[in-house]
């Protein structure tokens, strides 16, 4: 069989096309100049991080010299605060920030060169150092190794115990005796605990202790990946710049480290995606097989991570600026960066300003670095080039993506090769300001190396991200050759050479290829031939009009007359400020200006010296047919025309189709020569139509169908891209992008929003890889309905009824719907502090210190909600922003990081639980005075409403006033229709449960009845609420609610005090007895004045003495201080109160609180037991007496608590309380007063029982006689559960102890979980871990320990 196939199966694979190089002449160049292979050239990769251990990135061509010479994470994602210094004890032990005891071995201690032997400690979450998918793999692998088996066994055993119990105790669980019932609950809760951990496992984050100290070979970092504290077995790693070490944290993640600020900051470098490694492999991969080499295999790499793992690999201003500064620093140190590749970017609303773009220009213009940037993957519509390369100057080389027939065969396994072309999605020129963003195109796909964490040797990736490193590698070849031939060059001569020598592809979309396909051979020949050219070290600045545009772009309405543009041209020398004045004085060039089209006119000649010259370029578009038209004015040096143009003035004009007859529904159909009115499409054919959208149109419907006969279900794959450019807004503001399958059987439709009176580009392209010829018939129908009156989509509640004047394009059925989905709260900064940043990482040469403004906001979430945060003052796009960074981080009350956001955070919602949160917003700039101006910048917290608020419509003003007949639907014709919206009633606002201080509500308003129109024609609507009413200042807690730390008795006291008359002269403290439990037991039937229901003090009735009132107030004031004073003073006050008011039971409870706070450390059961056992085991001869004294002191305090609690228990008639609560209805006239007093007594009793029970249990632990007191503890428990559930907040602390004494760890878990719901503390998590340890579940204990470390950091995370 094999012999039969030998003539069919090809024995060779087209490996050369996996990393394509032939298309651009790279292979020929390297055959001709084998030594110009990138040697002596360094490429900086601005990306997601480069893996130095990836195949092909380990060494240069000699197999020895390291390829990745520097590796930095510029984003701050890997930063660890190491400012805390500790000195280990004589055994090398010290406490890490995780709470674990860490131990240095003698070997490590010997390495430490710190004069005091001190070490620095920090804590790092490794969650965001790898991509989410890799993180999932890490978690899945760990789960498989150390979790699944023991957890399945534990779950099975827990289930088995339940079955055994039910077999031994038949019958329904609620009918079981209480002692059997709690056993059943314990078993059920244990199983519930195991199931809950199974669900939680994938969300658990890992944080490791980091230790740092100096050695003779620089800083040494130790990362405790064992999580056990044995640093001898932990990960050791030196600084990358000195040791070039990269080490594995686990099977997936490898890291390197850098140290900054004299050891205060440790930078752990991971990778936020495989993208950067793939990019570096294309530019400079060095493999054993030359076929799969990168373009410049002998070039060195500097990895500069600009993607931030906290933001899912999105770049930040901080990272970009730090990357730029690092390039500048390396150049100044003599370790020159020759080329930068940046396959990152986004779009800008305007590109002629922006701090980051200015610094990019400085890198090119002052430091001579050639900066290559991907043009973007946002085509095929025009004006979709990203930023960069679209910045304020055309100083960067922008690259589009090309795919060759060989790539189709080797990379995409296509069944037949097609002619080479650009990818359908590659971004297109012109820039919005008319400039040229795409310089050249290059192969935009490769199968090459990726990081080890992918568990894959290589991957296919495509995009302009892959085309840019091809050009960066090609530039490295050029520079390598120029250096070896000692030919001076500049970024300008390099860009000019690759532009004028590129191969123009006549059959390829001109807006996607720039000057054409890169040709390395010709570019090098051009550079060598014109090595002496006087313009090699300068650029020509071309600025159009007052807005300083980079080109001419007419795309506004129908062009019916000529337009003159003033164009300023200025020669600018490399490093212009430091250039030799003689060179400037002697510079002169005589230019011949040649327009490429007859509708462009300008002077033919220009004599240009150093300085600005202005020319007039006239555009006469009056004869141009509908469509897009491009031209260019090229400037040639008359002394050397063959050198090619020195500069160009790009020109783009769009003439739209105008739909004349709009009496009926406006429909656009393309011109066609075919009888069926179809348009022919080959693979990658692009059809662009420009239509002036009719007035009042708000959406459009595109209908498509193939007209080819006998195609059946054969589907054509078409890329639809519609775009409208709006003033000062990016191309993404109003666009539609989708791939549509079209056949001849059924009509395909696409609906999208449009803006009236603006030019719409309707771009339809057959996808580049979709084989075969297709004939497509399509039409575009415009429809519209919208409110015509000013400010129609902003309603102020305070202004009353809101009118809407609804107009339509043509007759349209309307059925309005207004739904408010979000509530906005304005947060004002509680703190704004400006400070200089790092003196080593954040200073732009020379001496330009960057400052930060740290704005702090407090966010209170009253109940669980989804919340988005954004700062409206700042620009929502990075590259045009005045400030280089506006990152915020959201922390919970324990300083644990919950979410991170940047400029794009408007629509990113985070699920937040009830609680207090802190938002820290960092804004950076080198000008301190600018930061001072934003000290009061607001932050908006947008809450998703759990239930949308829908507003009603009325077509009569009077009906709207009286909430009468509502409007539902109607057909609107030529005359506008008036509709009215009434303000939302206050009861609806109240029921909506809006967040406190809500400023406005937002949602969408839709008018059309048409289903497609309702999905698309959405009008953002804002409902501005009336300002919140200022509530009168309440006295104490009379408005309800006591502090979180108040005891149940104290809470009852607050309510009790609110029901008592108070004299005006009552001391302030007496009106806020938050710690008092209120009234004497013998005052049950005492008369209460009728006006005593409020919380404010009221004067005694006239003619009545105030002595009793004064005595009560004094008593309450004294009680409020019993728990607060030192023990000796508190006891004195307590005795005074008891002497004067022997029946005032809250005094005893207040004194118990004092004893607990001063004599006893509040501890949960297992923590208390562990502390006691630790004291007993660690005691030496010298401390035995002290321990004995401490234990005796503790016993005395506990015994005192028991006695005090017994007083309250004895003086309370529990049977009377039970009888009262057994009443179904109390018909007595003073029933309310009776209930208040009974509730106080009940709360006092429960608190006393709980305090006594806990004290008894602790005494039993100290005396080691728990079993002897089980009956007593059971009696206390049964007394409590007569009144409240065991998990009630008043009883839960004792319920924990009761569960402990019975070894009911499942119940303990349930009670601790309830406490965590109310308030997350480290003590609660540590108790959970101890519970699992007691059950023998070491795997779950390890996970809870891990959760604890991450959930309770010592400080806020660094930016």
Q: Please name the helix (run of DSSP H) or strand (run of DSSP E) that holds residue 888, with its range, or none.
A: strand 885-892
Is 303 annotated in the active site? Answer: no
Contact 444, 423 (CB under 8 A): yes
SS3 content of the chain, % helix, strand, coil (to 5): 35, 25, 40
Beta-strand (E) ranges in 281-349?
300-305, 307-308, 314-315, 339-342
Residue among 303, 449, 465, 1113 flagged as catalytic? 465
Token pair of 371, please? Answer: 């900066």
Q: What are phi and psi of 95, to 5 degrees?
A: -95, 125
Contact 707, 713 (CB under 8 A): no
Smallest CA-to-CA distance from 1198 within 1240, 1246, 1134, 1260 is with 1260
Place of tokens 């698309």: 1016
> What angle do the packed helices 1231-1263 and 1165-1178 form, to 10 degrees?
30
CB atoms within 10 A of CB 599: 18
Contact 477, 37 (CB under 8 A): yes
Dihedral sign (CA 71, 76, 80, 84) = positive
Token pair of 259, please? Answer: 């140290």
Residue among 51, 128, 254, 275 flagged as catalytic? 275
Dihedral sign (CA 126, 131, 134, 139) = positive
Helix then strand count (H, E) for the chain reads: 33, 61
Token pair of 989, please? Answer: 């606002």
Residue among 37, 47, 535, 842 flagged as catalytic? 47
Is 1116 annotated in the active site? Answer: no
- Whether cis (ω within 30° of 0) applies to the bond prior to 1056 is no
- Using CA atoms, how far apart are residues 1037 and 1043, in angstroms rounded to an integer? 9
- Using CA atoms, how far apart are residues 633 and 736, in angstroms rounded to an integer? 33
- Using CA atoms, how far apart are residues 576 and 365, in angstroms rounded to an integer? 8
Contact 1313, 1334 (CB under 8 A): no
- Using CA atoms, how far apart are residues 1168 and 1188, in angstroms rounded to an integer? 17
- Using CA atoms, how far apart are residues 264 and 210, in angstroms rounded to an integer? 12
> In DSSP terms, which residues pair with 215 in a beta bridge?
218
CB atoms within 10 A of CB 61: 16
Token pair of 347, please? Answer: 């779009």
Beta-strand (E) ranges in 707-846?
716-723, 735-742, 748-753, 759-766, 774-783, 785-787, 794-796, 802-808, 812-827, 831-836, 843-844
CB atoms within 10 A of CB 179: 11
Place of tokens 């008043």: 1290
Per-residue CA distances from 1349 to 195, 333, 1277, 1352 (Å): 22, 41, 34, 6
Is 293 annotated in the active site? Answer: no
State whether residue 290 is helix, strand or coil.
Answer: helix
- Using CA atoms, how far apart are residues 635 and 569, in angstroms rounded to an integer? 11
Smallest CA-to-CA distance from 721 within 430, 427, 347, 381 is with 381
Token pair of 540, please? Answer: 């020509």
> In DSSP terms, which residues pair with 421 in a beta bridge?
403
Name the region of 705 (left: φ>0; alpha: ψ -120 to 50; beta: rest): beta
- Using CA atoms, how far apart are residues 47 and 345, in angstroms rounded to an integer? 10
Q: Please name the helix (run of DSSP H) or strand (run of DSSP E) that holds residue 136, with its range, or none.
A: helix 132-146
Task: Write out the catalytic residue numbers.
Answer: 47, 275, 465
């Amino acid at each position: 069989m094999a012999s039969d196939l030998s003539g069919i199966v090809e024995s060779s694979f087209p490996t050369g096309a996996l990393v394509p190089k032939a298309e651009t002449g790279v292979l020929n160049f390297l055959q001709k100049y084998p030594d110009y292979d990138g040697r002596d050239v360094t490429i900086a990769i601005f990306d997601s991080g480069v893996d130095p251990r990836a195949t092909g990135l380990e060494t240069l061509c000699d197999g020895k010299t390291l390829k990745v010479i520097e590796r930095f994470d510029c984003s701050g994602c890997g930063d660890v605060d190491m400012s805390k210094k500790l000195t280990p004890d004589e055994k090398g032990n010290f406490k890490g920030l995780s709470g674990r005891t860490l131990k240095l071995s003698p070997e490590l201690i010997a390495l430490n060169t710190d004069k005091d032997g001190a070490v620095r400690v920090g804590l790092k979450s490794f969650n965001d150092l790898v991509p989410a998918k890799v993180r999932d793999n890490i978690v899945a692998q760990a789960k498989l190794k150390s979790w699944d088996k023991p957890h399945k066994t534990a779950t099975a055993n827990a289930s088995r115990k339940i079955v055994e119990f039910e077999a031994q105790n038949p019958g329904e669980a609620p009918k079981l005796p209480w002692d059997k019932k709690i056993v059943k609950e314990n078993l059920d809760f244990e199983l519930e605990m195991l199931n809950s951990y199974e669900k939680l496992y994938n969300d658990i984050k890992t944080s490791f202790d980091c230790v740092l100290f100096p050695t003779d070979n620089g800083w040494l970092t130790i990362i405790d990946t064992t999580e056990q504290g044995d640093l001898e077995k932990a990960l050791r790693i030196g600084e990358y710049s000195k040791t070039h070490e990269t080490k594995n944290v686990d099977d997936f993640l490898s890291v390197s480290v850098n140290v900054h600020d004299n050891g205060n900051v440790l930078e752990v470098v991971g990778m936020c995606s495989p993208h950067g490694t793939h990019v570096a492999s294309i530019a400079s991969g060095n493999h054993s097989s030359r076929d799969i080499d990168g373009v410049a295999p002998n070039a060195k790499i500097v990895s500069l991570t600009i993607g931030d793992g906290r933001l899912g690999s999105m770049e930040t201003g901080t990272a970009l600026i730090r990357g730029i500064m690092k390039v500048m620093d390396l150049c100044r140190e003599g370790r020159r960066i020759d080329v930068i590749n940046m396959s990152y970017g986004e779009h800008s609303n305007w590109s002629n300003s922006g701090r980051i773009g200015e610094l990019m220009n400085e890198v090119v213009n002052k430091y001579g670095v050639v900066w290559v940037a991907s043009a973007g993957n946002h085509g095929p519509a025009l004006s979709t080039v990203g930023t960069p390369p679209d910045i304020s100057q055309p100083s960067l080389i922008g690259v589009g993506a090309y795919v060759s027939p060989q790539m189709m065969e080797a990379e995409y396994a296509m069944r037949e090769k097609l002619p080479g072309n650009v990818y359908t999605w590659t971004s297109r020129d012109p820039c919005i300001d008319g400039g040229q963003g795409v310089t050249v195109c290059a192969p935009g796909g490769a199968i090459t190396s990726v990081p080890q964490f992918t568990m894959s040797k290589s991957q296919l990736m495509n995009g302009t991200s892959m085309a840019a490193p091809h050009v960066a590698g090609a530039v490295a070849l050029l520079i390598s050759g120029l250096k070896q031939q000692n030919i001076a060059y500049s970024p300008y001569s390099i860009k000019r050479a690759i532009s004028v020598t590129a191969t123009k592809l006549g059959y390829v979309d001109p807006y996607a290829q720039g000057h054409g396909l890169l040709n390395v051979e010709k570019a090098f020949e051009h550079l060598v031939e014109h090595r002496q050219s006087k313009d090699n070290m300068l650029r020509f600045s071309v600025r159009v009009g007052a807005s300083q545009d980079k080109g001419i772009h007419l795309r506004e309405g129908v062009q019916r007359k000529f337009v003159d543009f003033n164009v300023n041209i200025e020669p600018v020398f490399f490093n212009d400020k430091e250039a030799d004045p003689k060179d400037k004085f002697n510079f002169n060039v005589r230019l011949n200006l040649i327009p490429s089209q007859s509708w462009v006119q300008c002077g033919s000649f220009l004599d240009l010296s150093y300085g600005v010259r202005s020319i007039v370029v006239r555009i006469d578009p009056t004869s141009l047919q509908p469509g897009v038209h491009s031209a260019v004015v090229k400037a040639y040096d008359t002394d050397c025309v063959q050198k090619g143009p020195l500069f160009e003035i790009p020109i783009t004009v769009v003439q739209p189709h105008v739909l004349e007859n709009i009496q009926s529904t406006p429909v656009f159909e393309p011109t066609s020569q075919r009888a069926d009115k179809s348009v022919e499409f080959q693979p990658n054919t692009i059809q662009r139509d420009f239509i002036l959208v009719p007035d009042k149109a708000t959406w459009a419907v595109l209908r498509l169908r193939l007209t080819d006969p006998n195609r059946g279900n054969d589907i054509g794959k078409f890329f639809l891209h519609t775009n409208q450019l709006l003033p000062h807004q990016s191309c993404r503001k109003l666009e539609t992008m989708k791939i549509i399958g079209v056949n001849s059987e059924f009509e395909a439709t696409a609906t999208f929003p449009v803006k009236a009176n603006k030019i719409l580009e309707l771009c339809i392209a057959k996808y580049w890889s979709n084989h075969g010829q297709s004939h497509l018939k399509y039409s575009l129908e415009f429809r519209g309905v919208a409110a015509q009156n000013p400010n129609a989509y902003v309603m102020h509640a305070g202004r009353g009824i809101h009118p809407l004047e609804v107009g339509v394009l043509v007759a349209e059925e309307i059925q309005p719907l207004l739904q408010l989905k979000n509530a906005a709260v304005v947060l004002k900064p509680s703190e704004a502090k400006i400070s200089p940043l790092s003196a080593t990482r954040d200073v732009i040469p020379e001496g330009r210190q960057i400052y930060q403004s740290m704005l702090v906001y407090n966010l209170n979430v009253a109940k669980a909600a989804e919340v988005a945060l954004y700062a409206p003052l700042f620009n929502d796009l990075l590259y045009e922003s005045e400030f280089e960074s506006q990152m915020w981080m959201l922390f919970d009350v324990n300083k644990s990081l919950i979410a991170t956001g940047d400029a794009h955070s408007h629509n990113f919602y985070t699920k937040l639980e009830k609680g207090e949160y802190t938002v820290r917003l960092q804004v950076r700039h080198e000008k301190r005075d600018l930061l001072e101006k934003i000290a009061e910048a607001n932050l908006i917290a947008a809450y998703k409403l759990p239930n949308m608020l829908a507003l009603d419509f009325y077509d009569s003003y009077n009906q709207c006033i009286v909430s009468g007949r509502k409007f539902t639907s109607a057909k609107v014709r030529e005359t506008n229709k008036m509709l009215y919206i009434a303000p939302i009633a206050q009861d609806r606002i109240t029921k909506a449960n809006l967040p406190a201080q809500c400023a406005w509500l937002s949602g969408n308003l839709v008018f059309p009845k048409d289903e497609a129109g309702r999905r698309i024609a959405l009008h953002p609507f804002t409902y501005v609420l009336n300002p919140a009413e200022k509530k009168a200042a309440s006295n104490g807690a009379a408005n309800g609610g006591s502090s979180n730390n108040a005891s149940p008795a104290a809470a009852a006291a607050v309510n009790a005090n609110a029901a008592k008359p108070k004299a005006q002269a009552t001391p302030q403290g007496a009106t806020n007895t938050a710690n008092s439990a209120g009234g004497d037991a013998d005052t049950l039937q005492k008369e209460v004045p009728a006006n005593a229901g409020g919380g404010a003090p009221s004067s005694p009735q006239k003619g009545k003495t105030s002595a009793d009132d004064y005595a009560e107030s004094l008593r309450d004031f004294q009680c409020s201080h019993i728990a607060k004073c030192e023990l000796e003073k508190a006891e004195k006050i307590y005795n005074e109160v008891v002497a004067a008011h022997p029946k005032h039971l809250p005094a005893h409870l207040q004194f118990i609180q004092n004893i607990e706070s001063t004599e006893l450390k509040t501890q949960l059961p297992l923590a208390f037991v562990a502390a006691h056992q630790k004291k007993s085991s660690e005691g030496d001869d010298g401390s035995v007496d002290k321990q004995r004294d401490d234990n005796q002191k503790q016993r005395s305090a506990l015994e005192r608590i028991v006695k005090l609690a017994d007083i309250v228990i004895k003086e309370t008639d529990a049977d009377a309380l039970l009888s009262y609560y057994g009443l179904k209805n109390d018909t007595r006239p003073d029933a309310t007063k009776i209930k208040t007093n009974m509730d106080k007594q009940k709360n006092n009793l429960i608190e006393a029982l709980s305090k006594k029970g806990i004290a008894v249990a602790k005494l039993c632990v100290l005396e080691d006689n728990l079993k002897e007191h089980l009956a007593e503890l059971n009696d206390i428990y049964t007394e409590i559960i007569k009144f409240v559930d065991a998990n009630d907040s008043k009883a839960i602390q004792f319920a924990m102890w009761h569960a402990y004494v019975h070894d009911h760890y499942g119940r303990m878990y349930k009670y601790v979980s309830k406490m965590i719901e109310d308030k997350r503390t480290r003590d609660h998590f540590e108790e959970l871990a101890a519970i699992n340890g007691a059950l023998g579940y070491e795997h779950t204990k390890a996970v809870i320990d891990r959760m604890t470390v991450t959930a309770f950091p010592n400080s806020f995370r660094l930016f």
